[in-house]
Structure 1
Amino acid sequence: MTETVQWMADGTPYSPRFGDRYHSEAAHALAQAEQVFLAGCGLPQAWAGHPQWRILETGFGFGLNFLVTWHAWQQDPARPGLLHFVSTEAFPIAAADLMAQARKFPHLLPLAEELAAQWWGLLPGVHRLRLAGGRVLLSLLIGDSQTMLRQQELVADSIYLDGFSPARNPDMWSLHSLKAVARCAASCWTSHSWLLQ
């Protein structure tokens, strides 16, 4: 079963469950992903010279942060050989909704199509998707963020905190959830959130 999504008049996806938008207004969604998360974590410069880079995200949503990061990795000649993106998501959307959003960003569309081709059977648990010939790994942790992260042996180089606002999704921002995130952080890591803006 996939999450119900409503579309606002400006094309922004809205969650009836949380009473909140998935991201800022449609016209600013791409800039939010690029500036708040990618640039906020010092990427792509930070991953230069590393054999792999691991990113942890709380709240996959429509995958825009993932697609923007994958695109930046793809365009960077100094990219690591492996990009491993791990994201929690309690309520995955349908592939059709993912593609409806991606069509607004033509440069991301080929990546979204590759992702959507593997976007099925997302029952609770861990799903590993191999993209870009296996050089981009997406590990989707479907379920409660805190519970899923406690079960992982992950060391993240960058962390994207992106799960609706604390007022709308307090479990995602609880002390216990943030401790589970911190446990996954490498000794030298960067983190950013839309809420810090």
Structure 2
Amino acid sequence: MSIKAPDLEWLQGDVPRAEGFNDTYFSKAGGLAETRHVFLQGNGLPGRFDGCERFTIAEFGFGTGLNFLTTLAAWQERTNRPDLTFLTFELFPMSGEQLARSLAAFPELTPLAKELLQAWSPEPGWNSLKIAGANLQIGIGDARELIGELNAGMAGEGEGGEPAIAPIDAWFLDGFSPARNPELWDADLLKVAANLTAHGGTLATYTAAGWVRRNLQAAGFEIEKVEGFAGKREMVKGRKP
């Protein structure tokens, strides 16, 4: 597999838009606030960090790394924070220049962004990075293939190439629009995600598309619609019973 950076158009405020998916990487109304509302608040974070020895977050769509860095900043503020693993998938990783331009829009994350950029050299397959004390595991390639390696590894059947992970405590489902990138909302993919999730584990996503909700429910999650970000009527959060 060869790595291909995304073709980007830069909108006002340096908001990157993926031409291949006709969708932006974060909200023009404010990417940082969007991440906090949808993915942190939607998963009960950072409060759920308290009292844990370790916590594992998984994400579909690393994109600009904004979700990771926002989570990292919130995690750092907790007095008794757990060991944190952030596991994420990306088919089209940004170049260092694209990543730097995207993250420059969030000055409060600059120290963490610099550390990420210094370590940024994605290769096909699994990439293991240590950023500000957290474990960042990035799978470069098709999530539908890479997640199968994790599932086999957790069952003790892996071949050793996949990272060793604990059950997932929280999911950030942040692929591009389901209408434009249905592969990341596929029923079979979400079933494997559910298998990797701890009992009581949660998910959050900006979309409330009916077929996505049905796929999540079929995978075994209890689903709830809640208020979306910046005037968006609804988003979804969920829990594995």
Sort the TM-score into its range (normalised by shorter chain).
over 0.9
Deviation at 1:182, TM superposition (A): 1.1
Q: Write the deviation string for residues 113-164 of structure 1: whole angstroms up to 9, x where unpaired.
A: 10111111x22200000122xx301000111111111101341101000000
Paired letter, 2:64: F
The alignment covers a number of residue pairs equal to 192
Q: Write the deviation string for residues 46-100 of structure 1: whole angstroms up to 9, x where unpaired.
A: 11111111000000000100000000011111321x1100001111001112111
Correspondent of 1:161 among 173, 186, 197: 173
Paired letter, 2:111: P
Q: Does the 8 Å contact 1:4/1:93 carry over to 2? A: no
Correspondent of 2:197 among 177, 185, 196: 185
Q: Does the 8 Å contact 1:5/1:93 carry over to 2? A: no
Task: Give distance in 1, aligned partners of 2:35 and 2:105.
Answer: 14
Q: Does the 8 Å contact 1:44/1:79 carry over to 2? A: no
Correspondent of 2:143 among 142, 145, 156: 145
Q: Provide structure 2 residue ranges, at least 5 long, that are not aligned to the other structure.
A: 155-164, 209-234, 236-241
Correspondent of 1:16 among 19, 22, 32: 19
Identical-residue share of aligned pairs (%):
38
Report the 3-state secondary structure (helix = DSSP H, G, I; strand = E; otherwise coil) of the residue aligned with 1:195.
coil
Tell me the equivalent position of 2:81: 79
Structure ranking higher on relative contact order (CA contacts 8 Å, 6+ apart): 1
Q: Provide structure 1 residue ranges, at least 5 long, that are not aligned to the other structure.
A: none
The 5 Å alignment of 1:1-197 reads 1-25=4-28, 27-80=29-82, 82-120=83-121, 122-132=122-132, 135-152=133-150, 153=154, 154=165, 155-196=167-208, 197=235
- Give the structure with higher Rg (CA): 2
Report the 3-state secondary structure (helix = DSSP H, G, I; strand = E; otherwise coil) of the residue aligned with 2:137.
strand
Q: CA RMSD in A?
A: 1.2
Task: Give distance in 2, aligned partners of 1:174 and 1:123.
Answer: 25
Deviation at 1:180, TM superposition (A): 2.0
Moved >4 Å (runs of 4+): none
Task: Give distance in 2, aligned partners of 1:10 and 1:71.
Answer: 22
Task: Give distance in 1, aligned partners of 2:108 and 2:25.
Answer: 20
Paired letter, 1:104: A
Task: Give distance in 2, aligned partners of 1:143 and 1:2.
Answer: 12
Paired letter, 2:131: L
| TM value normalised by structure 1 | 0.93
| TM value normalised by structure 2 | 0.77
